[in-house]
Structure 1
């Protein structure tokens, strides 16, 4: 159980932070940037939820919980030592990716195929979901870059990749089932 009774500790005042295994690293390290960006994404999802209801809101709630799981996964670098850890580390699993895929397929089945790229916008919820999509892509790029330097759970990277697709399709659903999508017109302002 997590207990947070003191919010500031002063242990990060010199520019370092503790990872999930207790190791101290620079706050600008790629690992901290990757899980920090997933935390940023979670905040944007919270803003999107202000405009969501029903199944989209319920799905966004699940995604917010998953993003905390993702942060817990990314903040613990020593995957090869998971078995010896005092507490089993929380890792993303393929079932979380598969849930996103099933939700994407279900939402997309009710949409007309795209004949053009779409511009972020339409409804407020759709615009917010597009912001989530782009922050998710940035978090994915950071996790992929981190994976070139250190071990990263492949399911975490897959989750971020699928999540940005989820946000794209959900943004179309939020635009009246795609009917209110704003289409890109190539060269329109030449």
Structure 2
């Protein structure tokens, strides 16, 4: 199988189910942003010390879930191809909430805004968080034009929260001090 198909050379792509749309379609923008988030998680995983086996496993599961989410977003609601994909559901969101609760116990107390950064893996997790937020905005925009699975939006919202917590956990485990936002003083 060749990696190039030439079917997108005119700026169109196929949704799951063979519908052709422009590559700038809000649905393509939404699942494209999810793909970016997945790559950002891959970067974070590659920078994570090997001693953090639990986080490696969690990030791998999240990356697989983002592929599921991409398929969800690439398949219109009501499509006859829906039966071939696993839509995000309440259990997926609950799994993220459980992970947030678990890792919040390990993260330092939250006292205010912090600057994204610290250990390279933590900085990459912060970057992934912002990419997930962009994906969330793209799904909101898509939802204004076409119906979308509401659990997809909830999933992205919780995922960004989890990535924030994980970044803080990595910094905590690695002994890297977080820098607080210093509010500009009025003159």
What TM-score, normalized to structure 2?
0.92
- Which residue of structure 2 aligns with residue 74 of structure 1? 73
Alignment partners' CA distance in 2, 1:96 and 1:25: 29
- Which residue of structure 2 aligns with residue 185 of structure 1? 182
Give CA-to-partner distance per residue, 1:136-157, whole Å, 9 cap, x none: 0000000011011101001111
Structure 1: gaps of 5 or more residues = none
2:43 is the counterpart of 1:47? yes
> Which of residues 5, 10, 21 is equivalent to 1:9?
5
- Which residue of structure 2 aligns with residue 18 of structure 1? 14
* Distance verdict in 2 for CA 1:42–1:12, change over 3 Å: same
Give the 3-state SS of the residue equivalent to 1:119 in structure 2.
coil
2:152 is the counterpart of 1:171? no
What TM-score, normalized to structure 1?
0.90
Q: CA deviation at 1:182?
A: 1.4
Alignment partners' CA distance in 2, 1:45 and 1:171: 11
- Which residue of structure 1 aligns with residue 152 of structure 2? 156
Alignment partners' CA distance in 1, 2:121 and 2:5: 37
Q: CA deviation at 1:85?
A: 3.7
- Which residue of structure 2 aligns with residue 146 of structure 1? 142
Aligned residue pair count: 183
